[in-house]
Structure 1
């Protein structure tokens, strides 16, 4: 087995409590009690808030710890929405947040937990976001969050949250997009309940699944990898490679989704840490392709990931043998092309777009600008050692994906 040791490795991770399995939300009250919380505000989007198959089990699981509901998050993850949520926290006297839904609901809940402790005026916070791209996190404790994901993107085991502000809120003069990062933003608990995930339309799950799947791929070759994340990501990739193709064939049943939720949880484990993250080149491309374009993150990943992997394997080892082993193609004579084929097979089984020209993304004349964004993305710092990416090379990957 080819092993390229990166020398001294430090793995620091204070993991959330994980509850997995169909019907796991029945234990929400128990998890809140374990976190020392009595009054939970449920944070979700309008669609989830109106989906009884999700909300009834959540309400039942919370029992008398349900303080109120805030079904107002949107994919834009607006700062103004987070402030509305803080007002709801105060109104309902909530000492915990239960974020139900996709990444945007979980992100907004994280920002709410920060703003609840921030005694600055909203326009001051917005000014900091506009100037620095982030919001500083006050010292001390934050409101505990329990995440109940209904998609497969894997925003739940992370200590970062995206946030935007729009002039319509009168908090900022022009649109601003940024993020907040702090180890205290990791949820206290994550409940991965396949029965709730199965309520999400398969087309939505397919896109989010690609985003989660790519976290596992990146975690194995990132320069910030550790032996612990090698173990969890390898096992998670195997579960995803074997079971994601069933999603379109057999439908998003609990039976199909249980191993998928397990795999998504495993590929996220320990990848968002105080000192490092293992998100790398694919996620940098994802940011470049979605910034200012309508294409959804998971779809952008689907289009570009085979081309990014080909580019990586052309220049570095990229731990191709470990990837081939995780994806179940370790008997191949050429592990690099076997890995690209295996990833492409998963993407195609999810019936996701295969070309950039078929999605709402950049046209070729914009590729130089996109390449600049990709290269400047902080995740590029986690590229495999020995990869010295240039704008021309990134443009070539975009052209291949077009």
Structure 2
């Protein structure tokens, strides 16, 4: 019999289908924030989206940090927190993709704990993973009235819907987890127009990351009815909307469907149903080999499904059913979607050769998602088998 705990996150509301600027202004007023600080990337900082947000925040706008780079390095966390501290921010708004949103989550921890150096973050890493769980550091103690964040996602990575963040430690070339229930955004604004300037490849590849969220949870040995409902509907939306978006990028209704699919894809994360080796190996490919997050899902998910098939064939049928093709293997359906979207299909296509496989395999064994894989992974040699399938 299944047993577990379903948690409810500290997200107060999700605003969808409305322009981001006026929505953020209304939320800042509702929360009583008067010093709203924006975090973003260099590319988003040059967009009309950010200009509109700054204009609509008006006298509540307190400044911007536009230095967040891919894979959320610790240096960006510390620098961004320093700029927010100087601005005397009482609310932070993250505008961007998963790297911006994850970095901002840990900026909150740095502000709460007055962490001012890369090394100071060591004390706040999540605990060592055991059977898929990585407990938040007990050292994180938000003060009364702790500054929180809002999020306006510009991609489909879904980072804004969970209370953990993957942050790259440049000293060791690994991605580590930081978590606390209050680092999840208080408010998330899903504005289809916020994705208009996002490059097609990034939109589609982060959409594949959302597919990865849904597939690995549907295939989990811990999956239960809440997971089946959210992840199945996520795949139905994403499998239809991703090709439709490629054909007609101007259709904002399709963009909103993608945002709903992304939201549903990660909804089961609050139920204690974790992801598996596609995510875990992908974390290492990002941190050590600089492969974009979405591309890691494109190249790893079909191979992980094939390697896992002896352990969860019945669960993989759920994926095929969600795609509307119950007779086709799940791995083939995901690989076909990647091919249809014109995204990378192998490690060689993303610049990772066999000379990096052993390093990736050994580092992957420290990732909680690898330890949570439906077919148990006992050591680096089994990760090597998966990498060979993806070569």
Q: Please indicate the TM-score interval, normalised by the length of the shorter structure.
A: 0.7 to 0.9
C-alpha change, 1:25 and 1:260, in structure 2 (3 Å) is farther
SS of equivalent to 1:13:
coil
Give me the whole-angstrom Cα distance separating, in 2, the residues matched to 1:90 and 1:394. 42
1:377 partnered with 2:367 = yes
Deviation at 1:377, TM superposition (A): 1.9
C-alpha change, 1:254 and 1:379, in structure 2 (3 Å) is same
1:287 partnered with 2:278 = no
SS of equivalent to 2:159:
coil
C-alpha change, 1:112 and 1:313, in structure 2 (3 Å) is same
**Residue-pair matches, total:** 381
SS of equivalent to 1:161:
strand
| Structure 1 gaps, min length 5 | 1-5, 168-173
Residue in structure 2 matching 1:70, options 59, 65, 69: 65
C-alpha change, 1:371 and 1:15, in structure 2 (3 Å) is same
Residue in structure 2 matching 1:221, options 212, 219, 228: 219
Query: Structure 2 matches for 1:1-400, cutoff 5 A?
Result: 6-14=1-9, 16=11, 17-21=13-17, 23-52=19-48, 54-119=49-114, 122=117, 125-126=120-121, 128=123, 136-141=139-144, 142-166=146-170, 177-251=175-249, 253-272=251-270, 276=272, 278-317=274-313, 319-330=315-326, 332=327, 337=329, 339-361=330-352, 363-384=353-374, 387=376, 391-400=380-389
Kindly indicate whether the alpha-carbon contact (under 8 Å) linking 2:214 and 2:231 is maintained by their aligned counterparts in 1.
yes
Kindly indicate whether the alpha-carbon contact (under 8 Å) linking 1:42 and 1:98 is maintained by their aligned counterparts in 2.
yes
Kindly indicate whether the alpha-carbon contact (under 8 Å) linking 1:223 and 1:382 is maintained by their aligned counterparts in 2.
no
Give me the whole-angstrom Cα distance separating, in 2, the residues matched to 1:302 and 1:18. 28
| Structure 2 gaps, min length 5 | 129-135
SS of equivalent to 1:319:
helix
Deviation at 1:80, TM superposition (A): 3.4
For each residue in 1:168-207, what CA deviation from the matched residue of structure 2 results, as whole angstroms up to 9, or x when unmatched? xxxxxx7675331111111101111111112111012122
C-alpha change, 1:299 and 1:147, in structure 2 (3 Å) is same
Give me the whole-angstrom Cα distance separating, in 2, the residues matched to 1:317 and 1:179. 30
TM-score, normalisation: structure 2: 0.87
Give me the whole-angstrom Cα distance separating, in 2, the residues matched to 1:283 and 1:155. 13
TM-score, normalisation: structure 1: 0.85
Give me the whole-angstrom Cα distance separating, in 1, the residues matched to 2:4 and 2:170. 41
Kindly indicate whether the alpha-carbon contact (under 8 Å) linking 1:198 and 1:253 is maintained by their aligned counterparts in 2.
no
Kindly indicate whether the alpha-carbon contact (under 8 Å) linking 1:42 and 1:69 is maintained by their aligned counterparts in 2.
yes
Deviation at 1:217, TM superposition (A): 0.7
Deviation at 1:230, TM superposition (A): 2.3
Deviation at 1:295, TM superposition (A): 1.9
SS of equivalent to 1:397:
helix
Kindly indicate whether the alpha-carbon contact (under 8 Å) linking 2:307 and 2:386 is maintained by their aligned counterparts in 1.
yes
Kindly indicate whether the alpha-carbon contact (under 8 Å) linking 1:151 and 1:197 is maintained by their aligned counterparts in 2.
yes
